[in-house]
Amino acid sequence: MAVMETTEGVPPEQTQRWAWLRFIARDKKALVGMIVLAVLTLAAILAPFLTPYDPNAQDFAMIGAPSWAHPLGTDDLGRDLLSRLIHGGRISLFVGTSTVLMALLVGVVLGVSAGYYGGWLDTIIMRYIDLQWAFPNFIIAVYLVAVFGAGLSNVIVAISLAFVDDFARIARGMVLTIKEEQYIAAARTLGASDNRIMWRHILPNAAAPIIVQATVSVSYAILAEAGLSFLGLGVRSDTPTWGLILADSRSFISRAWWLGFFPGLFIMVTVLSINFLGDALRDLFDVRETKDLGAH
Amino acid sequence: MSGFIFKRILWAVVVMWAVATLVFFMLRIVPGDPLAAMLFDAGDPAAAEELRKKFGLDQPVYVQYAKWFGRLLMGDMGNSIYGSRIEVSRVIREALPRTLSLTGLSFLIALVIAVPAGLISALKRHSALDHAVTLVAFLGLSMPDFWIAILLIITFASGLHWLPAIGYVPLSEGLWPWFSHLILPSIAIGTPFAAIMARMIRSSMLEVLRTEYMQVARSKGLFKLRLVMVHAFPNALIPVVTVMGIALALLMAGTIVVENVFAIKGLGRVLIQGILDRDYPIVQGAILVVSFIFVFANLLVDVLYTVIDPRIRYD
């Protein structure tokens, strides 16, 4: 035991802890992605202090082109577009991350249990996952909103459930290979419980592809939220979200291009940054292409 | 192989049954069902009771389910609960050609962009052109399709007045009117798809170009274009076909959103309007038909895959 302890928690692990940061710093695209995301996140958190106007404050400068007073222009009610977009980022980023966290939690628990125990549990879980796999995540989300109704909390639940299958499949696949490893047999011989083996021994070794999938999924979740809001199935109309601002602008785009341009630009820049980061992580962990399709 | 195809068809049938059943029960379990509102609107209890009978709601759920399922198999999806109580199957019959035209055209446009882009960037690896294709593909993947749609309208419809901004004209009224209404939405739907295809064709081509038989063919001094088109490209397409099912699904998902931007009354518009109106027979019908298209497309791709790659054997 003494030998194991000395090899376990010493310097190599500590230097490795920051290895990913160095890797990202070397990858130009990933670095840009990181910086943009950091700025967007900060702006969303500090939105009330940062924005020049209240996002819902109306004035008589209706449908104003971008100017010094309103850098991105104003909408049909004279509301400042920049302030609305910064506030909108709060919802988009919150929904994007919270839904993926929930999907990850549920998906990993389902996938790990299915892969570890096998048998009828595996059959039941995977039959359901296969069923969901037959449809793109966005469509599943639309179906679920059709059932639950629109609104922020329903949208979060719908998107979370729609993304569960991606995580369950990856987690199960990883467990199936890892559980045959010798160190798992060793842990079992030492009397480790099933729970301990699953969550302390298998899961950390299955983390890489799950992290990559989670990163990519955040971008799809943001697109899904924007899509649902755009279709009128998302949050209530007095909350500015990127998708909703874009939807509201539709009647005015023929005379106010900025209303159609900037909200989409915010979405694209965010999603692009996450994709850059996801790509770098995929290289770092040497993970083959995950479900890169169908999540729109 | 026929065993595999049979199993695959069986699974497709099971998926469709499961979707139908889930849709039936979920729309009845959730609170605030639209029929309740309708019954309330009816005012007096006697009228409500009559409506309840008319829709068979006085019977146990399993009887309702059996009846509903039986009618569904006959192609009867019920009637809209609003206005003229139009038949759901009629609404869908009118919507389907629009959605299929749109999906088909976006598929073609995406291929026309993606195949040359993917080929060139694989053959000229690490060139400026390759980097440009990669960057554009990244952008294409990151742009929401409804935003591309809006940008296209701003530019080509309200800006340049080259093309109509909204609506749909059936093919029977002429090729150009039909095409001119569909081209902008098709580009919006096809762009993310083209981005994915280009990336996949590129990486798949690179893999094929590294194989031994390509090295042999090259050492025999085969003409380069022939080498690429006859030997490399068909083999590079095999992995592309495997994800075609998912890719087609992506196109359909795009169609559902983009129809709403261009006010084209296809399946997507019908589905979303149905959800907003809480017109559940319409929602139910639209979900079933959209799901059927997905399941069928996936089935087709799987079968196609076993045909084009004889090495694949399923047991």
**Which 3-state string (H, E, C) describes chain B?**
CHHHHHHHHHHHHHHHHHHHHHHHHHHHHCCCCHHHHHHHHCCCHHHHHHHHHHCCCCCCHHHHHHHHHHHHHCCCCCECCCCCCCEHHHHHHHHHHHHHHHHHHHHHHHHHHHHHHHHHHHHCCCCHHHHHHHHHHHHHHHCCHHHHHHHHHHHHHHHCCCCCCCCCCCHHHCHHHHHHHHHHHHHHHHHHHHHHHHHHHHHHHHHHHHCHHHHHHHHCCCCHHHHHHHHHHHHHHHHHHHCHHHHHHHHHHHHHHHHHHCCCCCHHHHHHHHHHHCCHHHHHHHHHHHHHHHHHHHHHHHHHHHHHCCCCCCC
Lowest mean pLDDT among A121-130, A140-149, B158-167: B158-167
The 8-class DSSP code of residue A289 comes to -
pTM: 0.85
The CB density around residue B67, as the number of other CB atoms within 10 Å, is 12
Asked if A261's CB is within 8 angstroms of B246's CB, the reply is no
Check A231 against B145: CB less than 8 A apart.
no
Minimum-distance CB partner of A147 among B18, B26, B298: B26
Checking if the pLDDT of A291 tops 60, the result is no
CB contact (8 A) between residue A230 and residue B257: yes
pLDDT for B38: 61
Contacts of B158 in chain A (CB under 8 A): 253-254
Tally of CA atoms within 13 A in the half-sphere of B262 that contains its CB: 37
pLDDT at A269 over 80: yes
* pLDDT above 90 for A187: no
> Residue A89, class by beta-carbon neighbours within 10 Å (0-12 exposed, 13-18 middle, 19+ buried)?
buried
Given this model, what pLDDT does residue A102 score? 96
For the cut 50, the answer to whether the pLDDT of residue A8 exceeds it is no
Burial of A167 (0-12, 13-18, 19+ CB in 10 A): buried
Structure confidence at residue A218 (pLDDT): 93
User: Is A152:A234 a contact under the CB 8 Å cutoff?
Assistant: yes
Which of A78-87, A95-104, A212-221, B29-38 comes out lowest in average pLDDT? B29-38
pLDDT of A220 > 60? The answer is yes
Give me the mean pLDDT over the A99-125 stretch: 93
Within 8 A of B192 by CB-CB distance, chain A residues are 296
Q: What is the pLDDT of residue B33?
A: 54
- What b/e string do you get for A32-57 counting C-beta neighbours within 10 Å, with b at 16 or more? ebbebbeebeebbeebeeebebebee
The whole-angstrom separation of Cα B298 and Cα B2 is 17
Residue that wins the pLDDT comparison between A163 and A259: A163
Q: Is the pLDDT of residue A10 over 50?
A: no
Q: Are B261 and A250 inside 8 Å of each other by CB?
A: yes
Taking the alpha carbons at both ends of chain B, their separation in whole angstroms is 8
pLDDT above 60 for A13 = no
Residues 6 or more apart in contact with residue A149 via CB below 8 angstroms: B30, B32
Task: Give the pLDDT of residue A106.
Answer: 96
Residue A216 has pLDDT above 60, yes or no: yes
Contacts with A148 from chain B: Cβ below 8 Å:
30
Whether residue A77 contacts residue A69, with contact meaning beta carbons closer than 8 Å, is answered with no
User: Are the C-beta atoms of B284 and B78 separated by less than 8 Å?
Assistant: yes
Which of A53-67, A167-181, A208-222, B91-105 shows the lowest mean pLDDT across its residues? A53-67
Is the pLDDT at A155 greater than 60? The verdict is yes
Task: Kindly tell me if the per-residue pLDDT of A97 is higher than 90.
Answer: yes
**What local confidence, expressed as pLDDT, does residue B281 receive?**
84
Burial class (CB in 10 A: 0-12, 13-18, 19+), B174: exposed
Average pLDDT, chain A: 82
8 Å CB contact of B144 and A223: yes
The distance of A138 to chain B (nearest Cα, Å) reads: 7
Model ipTM value: 0.82
Q: Report the C-alpha gap between A240 and A248 in whole angstroms.
A: 10
Predicted confidence at residue B53, as pLDDT, reads 73
pLDDT averaged over consecutive 10-residue blocks of chain B (315 residues)?
Answer: 79 88 78 57 67 71 83 81 79 89 89 86 83 86 89 83 77 80 89 86 82 74 69 76 73 89 89 85 88 85 74 55
Q: Given this model, what pLDDT does residue B131 score?
A: 86
Most B-contacting residue of A169, A216, A296 (CB-CB within 10 A), to test interface: A296
B271–A146 CB contact, under 8 Å: yes
- Binned at pLDDT 50, 70 and 90, residue A162 comes out as very high
Confidence of residue A296 (pLDDT cuts 50, 70, 90): very low
| Predicted local distance difference test score (pLDDT) of residue A15 | 56
Q: Using pLDDT thresholds of 50, 70 and 90, give the confidence band for residue A295.
A: very low
How far is Cα A122 from Cα A172, in angstroms, rounded to an integer?
9
Residue A200 pLDDT > 90, yes or no?
Answer: no
Average pLDDT over residues A143-148: 85
Strand partners, A80: A74
Question: What is the mean predicted confidence (pLDDT) over A280-296?
Answer: 60
Residues of A in contact with B271 (CB under 8 A): 142, 146
CA-based nearest distance B186→chain A, Å:
16
Give A14's pLDDT tier (boundaries 50, 70, 90).
Answer: low
Contact B240, B200 (CB under 8 A): yes
Task: State the pLDDT confidence band at A108, using cuts at 50, 70 and 90.
Answer: very high
- Nearest chain A residue to B256, by CA: A139
Residue A239 makes CB contacts below 8 A (sequence gap 6+) with: A91, A152
Structure confidence at residue A221 as a pLDDT band (50, 70, 90)? very high
Nearest to A231 among B154, B260, B291 (CB): B260
Range among A112-126, A197-211, B152-166 with highest mean pLDDT value: A112-126
Q: Is A104 helix (H, G, I), strand (E, B) or coil?
A: helix
* pLDDT number for residue A290: 47
Nearest to A53 by CA among A35, A79, A76: A79
